[in-house]
Structure 1
Amino acid sequence: MIVAISRFRPPEGQGDALAERFQERARLVDRHEGFLGLEVLRSFERQPEFLLMTRWRDRDALRAYLQSEDFQAAKAAGAAQEDATFALYEVVAQ
C-alpha cells in the first residue's frame, strides 16, 4: 500500500473554510481504481497545518489518478495548495 501526503498551511483565517471544503468535496477520487481512502488532518495551532493523506493499492494506481481529468479538476478547484509539500510512503507494517 502507498500513502501520499500533502502538507500545507492555508492563509491565516482560512482554516475553517478549507476544512469545510474538504468535508463537502466532490469525491471524484473515490471512484478511481486502487483508491483506498482519504484523511484530512488539521493541527491545533493558531495557524493550523493540514495533512491530506490518500491511501492507494500501489504506485500505478496513484500515478493513473494523478494523470486523470479528475485530478486536474481537483487542482483547478483549488484543492492543491501552492506551498504544499508532497511525499510518498510505502506501508511496511500494520
Structure 2
Amino acid sequence: MIVAISRFRPPPDQAEGLVSRFRERSRLVDAHAGFLGLEVLRSYERQPEFLLVTRWRDREALRAYLQSPDFQVARAASVAEDATFTMYEVVGE
C-alpha cells in the first residue's frame, strides 16, 4: 500500500473555507482504481497546518490518478500552491 501526503499551511483567513471545501469535495478520486481512502487533518495551531492523506493499492494506481483529468481538476482548485508532496510505502501495520 502507498500513502501519499500533501502538507500545506494556508493563510489564516482561508483555513475555515478550506475545511468546508474538503467536506464538500467532488469525490472524483473515489472512483479511481486502487484508491483506498482519504483523510484531511488539521493541526491545533494558530495558523493550522493541513495534511491531505490518501491511501492507494500501489504506486501504479497513484501514478494513473496523478496523470488523470480528475487530478488536473483537483489541482486547479487547490489553494495550496506551496504544498509539499511525499509518497510512502506501508511496510508494517
Q: Normalised by the shorter chain, which TM-score bucket?
A: over 0.9
Superposition deviation, residue 62 in structure 1: 0.1
What TM-score do you get using the length of structure 1 for normalisation?
0.96
Give the TM-score, by structure 2 length: 0.97
Structure 2 match to 1:36? 36
CA deviation after TM superposition for structure 1 residue 33, in Å: 0.1
Distance 1:14 1:51 in 2: 15
**Identity, % of aligned pairs?**
74
Aligned length: 93
Q: Give the CA deviation at 1:13.
A: 1.7
Aligned amino acid, residue 56 of structure 2: W
Say if 1:13 and 1:47, in contact at 8 Å, map to a contact too.
Answer: no
Q: Which has the higher helix share?
A: 2
Q: How does 1:49-64 map to 2 (within 5 A)?
A: 49-64=49-64
Partner AA of 2:76 in structure 1: A
SS of corresponding position for 1:13: helix
RMSD of aligned residue pairs (Cα, Å)? 0.8
Cα distance in 1, alignment partners of residues 85 and 5 from structure 2: 6
Partner letter of residue 88 of structure 2? Y
Unaligned runs of 5+ in 1: none
